Amino acid sequence: MEVHQAEAFLTLAEELHFGRAAERLRIAQPPLSRLIKQLEKELGASLFERTTRSVTLTAAGEALVKPAQTLIRAAENARRVVQNTVTGEMGQVDIGFAGASTQRIVGALAREVRKNHHGVSLDFHSAQFSHTGLQRVLDGSLDLAIGRWDFVPAEVDSHVLTVEEALVVVPSGHRLANEHEVRMKDLTNDPWVTLPSGLGAALQNRLNSLAMAAGFSPRVVQTAPDSWTLLVLVAAGMGNALTLDSVRDNATTDGVSFVKVAGGHTSLELRLIWRKTNKNPAHPRILQAAHRLYPATAN
């Protein structure tokens, strides 16, 4: 039974009159009669008892009412899903983020989308550092990425979510652990722990630029896979690290001290990036949510 047959059958079952049913369906009565006869032939049973004075449902017709209603509901749902997907009201958006430093923003964005865009689901991919997130946005395996970049390619657009401050994190027993701020040149001979670096990765680039301005090149002794591990390595005395106030606020680790860097040039923009040619219909809904949450820094 096809959808148009189910619609004709149910209309006639409700009206029990070919003329009125044909009028509701906006077709002539003879085509409706042929449609019902064809349906009865396909099903191998009479669906209506017809006399010159009345039309009534047969037992087979009564049994067909619910399946016909189910078919029409399924067809309507299919049309609605397709239309909502095309308009972006339904769909899935893949978004990458690093970890501890962005977890509050990720949580806020997820709540905003769930509140205002019920049909859109966010598939979060963690441990996507800036260089990895940028590459995956470029190759299309991520719709969006949250991170820090000193520059992005021309084919990528971005929105500033917030501005963060870079801090030096040192072991709690470090000679400068109790200072309010530290000069980079006072750390010239210290070992350093870093996160993975790559194209445009702002935090690692900032460590290098701050160190170069102080007259040294940082001696990197280990690369940590994420900010939590980085703090553990610092607490173990492996070295210092350049991190962010958002990591300080979101990741609790004993045995470390966060110290401001004297001299400025420590502000970093946390951005949401996407490929300008992204064709995912649901993608603009997430951008709308991000702009609602963080409008003051819109660029």
What pLDDT, on a 0 to 100 scale, did the predictor assign at position 102? 87
Residue 68 has pLDDT above 50, yes or no: yes
pLDDT category at 77 given cuts 50, 70, 90 is confident
What pLDDT, on a 0 to 100 scale, did the predictor assign at position 15? 92
Residue 279 has pLDDT above 70, yes or no: yes
Task: Determine the average pLDDT of the residues in 54-71.
Answer: 93
Task: Determine the average pLDDT of the residues in 50-76.
Answer: 90
Residue 299 has pLDDT above 50, yes or no: no
- Global pTM? 0.69
Residue 144 has pLDDT above 80, yes or no: yes
Q: For 90-94, 110-114, 289-293, which range has the lowest pLDDT when averaged over its residues?
A: 90-94
pLDDT category at 297 given cuts 50, 70, 90 is low
Q: Over the stretch 17-58, which tens digit does the pLDDT of each residue have?
A: 999 999 999 999 999 999 999 999 999 999 999 988 899 999
Q: Over the stretch 160-202, which tens digit does the pLDDT of each residue have?
A: 999 999 999 999 999 999 999 999 999 999 999 998 877 667 8
- 127 vs 47 pLDDT, higher one: 47
Q: What is the percent of the chain where pLDDT is above 70?
A: 95
pLDDT category at 251 given cuts 50, 70, 90 is confident
- Which domains occur in the chain, in start order? 3-87 (1.10.10.10), 91-161+269-293 (3.40.190.10), 163-268 (3.40.190.10)
What pLDDT, on a 0 to 100 scale, did the predictor assign at position 85? 63
Residue 298 has pLDDT above 50, yes or no: no
What pLDDT, on a 0 to 100 scale, did the predictor assign at position 259? 97
What pLDDT, on a 0 to 100 scale, did the predictor assign at position 203? 87
Task: Determine the average pLDDT of the residues in 53-64.
Answer: 93
Residue 255 has pLDDT above 80, yes or no: yes
What pLDDT, on a 0 to 100 scale, did the predictor assign at position 217? 96
Sign for the pseudo-dihedral over CA of 179, 183, 186, 190 = positive
What pLDDT, on a 0 to 100 scale, did the predictor assign at position 90? 78
What pLDDT, on a 0 to 100 scale, did the predictor assign at position 193? 97
Q: Over the stretch 225-240, which tens digit does the pLDDT of each residue have?
A: 888 899 999 999 999 9
Task: Determine the average pLDDT of the residues in 212-230.
Answer: 93
What pLDDT, on a 0 to 100 scale, did the predictor assign at position 81? 66
Mean residue pLDDT of the chain comes to 90
